[in-house]
Every structure is written in C-alpha cells, then in structure tokens.
Amino acid sequence: MITLNVPGMSCGHCEAAIKTEVGQVAGVSAVNVDLATKIVTVDGDQLDLDAIVAAVAEAGFEVVS
C-alpha cells in the first residue's frame, strides 16, 4: 500500500478525478480518497510510486511529502 498526502482535494470531483487517473496506473487494484484528512491510499501489486504521483498530477493535484 502507498499513502499520499494530497492537500489540494476538497470535493467529490477531486476524489473522482484522482480515482480515475490513479486507477489507470498498472498494478493498481484500489484507490481510496479521504477528503477530510487529504490522504490517498493506493493498493495493488508492484506499485510504481513515480507513476502514481504522475497520475495525481494529471488529475490536477500535487502530492506533498
């Protein structure tokens, strides 16, 4: 599992955009978005962190470490 801090999320549209983009990354089996804590968790096999961060960026958001 990978956990990401994505502070720019604020609504259902944000959640849907991130789930769509990150869900398309190879190896991803589940994407969970918690708008209250601004945390995205990604489950799957052989996850590529760089590809997931790029997918979050494609959705219009930035991962903060």
Residue closest to 63 by CA, chosen among 44, 47, 39: 39
Which segments of 1-65 are extended strands (E)?
2-5, 28-34, 39-44
- Rounded to 5 degrees, what are φ and ψ at 3? -115, 130
Q: Could you read off the pLDDT tens digit of each residue along the chain, which spans 65 residues?
A: 999 999 999 999 999 999 999 999 999 999 999 999 999 999 999 999 999 999 999 999 999 98
